Chains A and B, each alone.
Chain A
């Protein structure tokens, strides 16, 4: 009912290459003198941590875990592979081996019988507002849209995330979500930086930040920005106004990047990060024609779009999206709630797959994030009815590897491959069936949820002493 909250952002973990990022124009203070470090400052000289150095750094560390194997289950590896009666072995927080029934399992480790069950990589939601629009959704918690100017690349979604949002635990227990990208909303053309989180309970957002995940910047096409600002009698009030403001903003960022003497500007630092390819673009965009215009704007300004989100009309331009190597993050069945969603069809994912384009199933919703597997199943079934038969193992990739790829973390998680993070879900049945639920969820090899053990249900501070504390939910 409340589709498409206008504002959400994500901020990813630290940029990996602080030095490489060192924006030539941006690391300096006003007088051009580069400080040694923030701590060794001479009298009367003050300096912030240089741009590009880690700030608000991740403090997440994998929780204690024991070497664990699951055997006898059907395994979907997230990259299109399927193994029946397979073995997944994890140790030290990493996937050690994935294979058939003969895969060696060391003695003296925990072994779960997965007979009749299924194993997938941890589910990843590329589009969430948990924490930024937490439950309870009271006005005091409305922290997803800095809707006071049409471009706010300077805001970081992580500064809004409330780690006590009970939604994180529901996403874990019912959805098998192990990582998610929290985005600013879509009130603004440029909503700010996103943050990628490990879905672990934490007292601080830093304790959830996905180590070394890149940042993304949220952009938004179409109705929302022009409505929000048009209603205030300011630009943009039209779709052409949307593009004009975007292009002016990019041009200013390019000038900034080329001027070594300019003062630091948080907004432009984000934009320059995008131009350098260090910050990804997640672009809310419903209509096919607008996506095509955005792709040309990206070419004009020299950046790349990682994914179009809510792309209900992506099926009209699957060829173009494939050619440009852009993912479409979509729902299965949302349609008709706003004008730009009028042409939503359930075959969207299947038609994109037919073109070889990248499909990601996303939620944008605190309820749907608990059932991304079912959304994918609905989209798969719609394809099958029109003769597009997409294997189950490929469909699982829509909510694991493809999401990780579009978030820039596919080298770390999103698939069951040796050396990757042991983010794993054991389902009590076929994950593409409505009748199945996560039975166990591991994050970096630590068992963070077990349906068989009530004490493994995280209970947020907010829920303590309230009706239903610790209930099965």
Chain B
């Protein structure tokens, strides 16, 4: 049932007179986080109409809105949904159980042409569990296995419906550095040669109309790149599709930035970039955003010798656009915890952290912008998706979880395998019947 809501102190006469869609809703009395790096707003309001934010902020006197759903947040934190990048959400059930794992594909002759959007399972428990953790959208991708090319990643939403893919083929993901070298045959040079050969093939194909044949390109080792793969790189080399490059070492990062000299249209994004802080000014000058490892502080490989938790903060301080990388976390629902740790660093002498607003932006609006979803996700501003999360406490605090999650204005069911186990084992009383009857 729809009701006319008069928003207490304000004047924004909002006659959002759209029909009674489920995607209309209003959250009041919020400690409102816009997600753009600004400080929380006490007594904030979010209005979602037809699945999109139409207002978020301090309400003006007399402001009204017609809606079926009014949620009083009771002063709790209200934020945009977390935008997780880079993830593999929806591509496996149990990563170590090969049958369920679509993240890697060692046996395929294809590489760059692989399209993660064709394999997303919207009801994967990982999607349901992470939705309950406040993640509403994610950049999800396969990982490089048979080649330096992982294939094309997708932007997905986590509402579990039939259409999880917000944008297919949003980016191509490749691995340089140690991992890429290994995939390419054992040397960084091999990885760079393969990349250049592939991009040149794509340049040669660019602008050629018609349905191409998927025969192998005529080259010495044709398994490296099929025609289909070369075609998939056309949007990369023409700058229409982003190129996410996983690189860690200072020298590897420089080599990535240098690619623009040969392929000027590349729309580069660095992923990982453990030693990015050592070349922060160069990255900033190149205007390349970074999806940075947040808390990696050990030389886990020789390409991470300079690892420090201050990496993300120092990059941001140099003017680089920085999101936090989910790929190196135990699971992406730890993004909020990583962001909280970056805030904690501001109290550690010698360390560089982030302000609270900046850290939250690094898991919401910034990754959305990097993914090409700027203004559409990860932020509560007019026109953005109505992904709204109400939290138990400060969302960057250890243990914070959502009490309610809305995706495109629709309240989500937060039930999943884990909540069902939790409910069953609230007690161990089997005096009447075994636990199997408790459901």
Contact A437/B298 with A1-B330, A318-B428, A333-B331 known, Cβ cut-off 8 Å: no
Which residue of A337, A366, A454 is within 8 Å of B298 (Cβ)? A366
Question: Cβ of A472: which chain B residues have Cβ within 8 Å of it?
Answer: 308-310, 348-351
Which residue of B306, B398, B428 is within 8 Å of A433 (Cβ)? B398
State whether B347 touches A315 (Cβ < 8 A): no
Question: Cβ of A466: which chain B residues have Cβ within 8 Å of it?
Answer: 299, 305-306
Q: Does B344 sit within 8 A of A, measured CB to CB?
A: yes
Which residue of A174, A338, A434 is within 8 Å of B397 (Cβ)? A434
* A-contact 0/1 string along B264-277, CB 8 Å cutoff: 00000000000100
Question: Cβ of A135: which chain B residues have Cβ within 8 Å of it?
Answer: 298-300
Interface of A is mostly: loop
Q: Does B219 sit within 8 A of A, measured CB to CB?
A: no
State whether A433 touches B299 (Cβ < 8 A): no
State whether B299 touches A334 (Cβ < 8 A): no
Contact A434/B330 with A466-B299, A468-B306 known, Cβ cut-off 8 Å: no
Q: Does B343 sit within 8 A of A, measured CB to CB?
A: yes
Q: Does B214 sit within 8 A of A, measured CB to CB?
A: no
Q: Does A50 sit within 8 A of B, measured CB to CB?
A: no
Contact A378/B298 with A316-B425, A437-B348 known, Cβ cut-off 8 Å: no
Question: Cβ of A468: which chain B residues have Cβ within 8 Å of it?
Answer: 278, 305-308
Cβ-Cβ contact count across A and B, 8 Å cutoff: 161
State whether B344 touches A347 (Cβ < 8 A): no
Q: Which of A137, A366, A468 has the most CB of B within 10 A?
A: A468
State whether A435 touches B299 (Cβ < 8 A): no
State whether A378 touches B399 (Cβ < 8 A): yes
- Inter-chain CA distance A412–B235, complex, in Å, is 64
- Inter-chain CA distance A136–B343, complex, in Å, is 27
Size of the A side of the interface (Cβ < 8 Å), in residues, is 66
State whether B399 touches A473 (Cβ < 8 A): no
- Inter-chain CA distance A260–B267, complex, in Å, is 75
- Inter-chain CA distance A462–B300, complex, in Å, is 12
Size of the B side of the interface (Cβ < 8 Å), in residues, is 57
Q: Does B297 sit within 8 A of A, measured CB to CB?
A: yes
Q: Which of B298, B344, B347, B348 has the most CB of A within 10 A?
A: B298
* A-contact 0/1 string along B326-362, CB 8 Å cutoff: 0011110110010011011001111100000000000
Q: Does B301 sit within 8 A of A, measured CB to CB?
A: yes
Q: Which of B363-420 contact A (CB under 8 A)?
A: 392, 396-401, 417-418
- Inter-chain CA distance A386–B308, complex, in Å, is 37
Question: Cβ of A318: which chain B residues have Cβ within 8 Å of it?
Answer: 428
- Inter-chain CA distance A371–B300, complex, in Å, is 17
Q: In the complex, what's the smallest C-beta–C-beta distance from B432 to chain A, in angstroms? A: 16
Q: List 18 A-B contacts (CB under 8 A).
A: A3-B330, A316-B435, A333-B331, A335-B129, A337-B96, A338-B95, A338-B96, A365-B330, A377-B399, A429-B347, A434-B337, A434-B340, A452-B349, A454-B350, A468-B308, A471-B306, A473-B307, A473-B309
The 4 closest A-B pairs by CB, nearest first: A381-B399, A434-B340, A467-B306, A377-B398
